[in-house]
Amino acid sequence: MAKNLIVILGPTASGKTRLAAKLASELNGEVISADSRQVYKNMNIGTGKDLNQYIVDGRQIPYHLIDIIEPENEFNLFEFQKKFYEIFKLLLRKNKLPVLVGGTGLYLESVLLDYDMPEAPVIEEQRKKMSGKTKEELQKILCKLKPDLHNRTDLDDSERLIRAIEIEQARTVKNYNDEDKPEIDAAVFGIRWERAILRKRITERLEERLNTGMIEEVSALRSAGVTWERLESFGLEYRFIAQYLQKKITFDEMKSKLNTAIHQFAKRQDTWFRRMEKKGVAINWIPGDDYSLLKESAIRYLK
């Protein structure tokens, strides 16, 4: 049977968005983002939303799970999976091709490996107790519940730690009700560049973003009431620019540390994708920005 989902994954700066939007344009599709930070409003440059790339040949390509929540609020894996299923089913009913694109491995895996995600309601009494604990105490609780924790960003922020604990506790007592889970049969494509070329793309993109308002974006978020702690919890661009704006580091230190951190992040993404393959996810690797090969391969899977 024909595949009912196209997935385009790859490390940061690999050009996923442009390829996904073009493919969706030509194959009557809509794009669903699998990026843990692009869900937040007013975080455009630092998260690489590149919304202009969703305009193909003068036509706006519909996209989903971008700009859906305020930065002060939390968004987690359970909410991503739930919303993805809703959008996926809606697109199929409209006879639209869902094109899932992103680099957040955990989000991608939750769909491709059919994670059993529990609904984890907030229990105020329990949350009050946890709010009185130190970050180190919360980290110990979460690591005890989930020794194989991969998403280390949950360890950087107390609010995220508490929410991650609630989800893991719910997982131990309640299974996800999968009555409404759609059947997904995905063709997965990965964008791969030679390491030296990807490094150059990452460095050049950082330079461009710093020159086109990324620092001002972080400053505006702070002026709008987003705390320094919350900004730093978003990692990478927001962490280092927040430190620079607080005069904890110089501009040159910020730029150097951020450049190094993004390169390290790209390596971690590649490691995650290799682990996905070991778990049984078949990834068709596309060299660089070979759109013709991507389109030709995708059409084969859709017949």
Q: List pLDDT tens digits, range 233-280.
A: 999 999 999 999 999 999 999 999 999 999 999 999 999 999 999 999
CA distance 49 to 94: 25
pTM score of the predicted model: 0.84
Structure tokens at 240: 């280092």
CA distance 233 to 74: 11
Residue 286's H or E segment, with its range, is strand 283-287
Pairing verdict, β 97-102 and 59-60: unpaired
Give residue 145's pLDDT. 85
Give residue 172's pLDDT. 56
Give residue 129's pLDDT. 85
In this predicted model, what pLDDT tens digit does every residue of 39-49 receive, in sequence order? Answer: 999 999 999 99
Structure tokens at 10: 């790859």
Which positions ≥6 away from 43 have C-beta within 8 Å? 37, 49, 71, 217, 221, 234, 238
Q: Answer yes or no: is pLDDT of 208 > 70.
A: yes
CA-closest candidate to residue 53, choices 108, 99, 104, 91 = 99
Give residue 177's pLDDT. 54
> Which CATH class, in words, describes the domain spanning 195-263?
mainly alpha
In this predicted model, what pLDDT tens digit does every residue of 136-188 receive, in sequence order? Answer: 889 899 888 877 765 565 567 787 788 888 877 776 554 445 567 899 999 99
CA-closest candidate to residue 89, choices 171, 23, 181 = 181
Give residue 176's pLDDT. 46
CA distance 205 to 199: 10
What is the arithmetic mean of pLDDT over 190-196? 97
Sorted by where each begins, the domain ranges of the chain are 118-175, 195-263
Q: Answer yes or no: is pLDDT of 302 > 90.
A: yes
Alpha-helix runs per DSSP H in the chain:
16-26, 77-93, 105-112, 124-131, 135-145, 158-173, 195-211, 214-223, 228-233, 236-245, 251-278, 291-302
Give residue 128's pLDDT. 84
Structure tokens at 264: 């390290």
Give residue 151's pLDDT. 57
In this predicted model, what pLDDT tens digit does every residue of 66-114 receive, in sequence order? Answer: 999 999 998 989 899 999 999 999 999 999 999 999 999 999 999 999 9
Q: Are 106 and 77 in contact (CB under 8 A)?
A: yes
Q: Which residues pair with 59 in a beta bridge?
A: 56
Give residue 154's pLDDT. 56
Give residue 179's pLDDT. 60
Give residue 242's pLDDT. 98
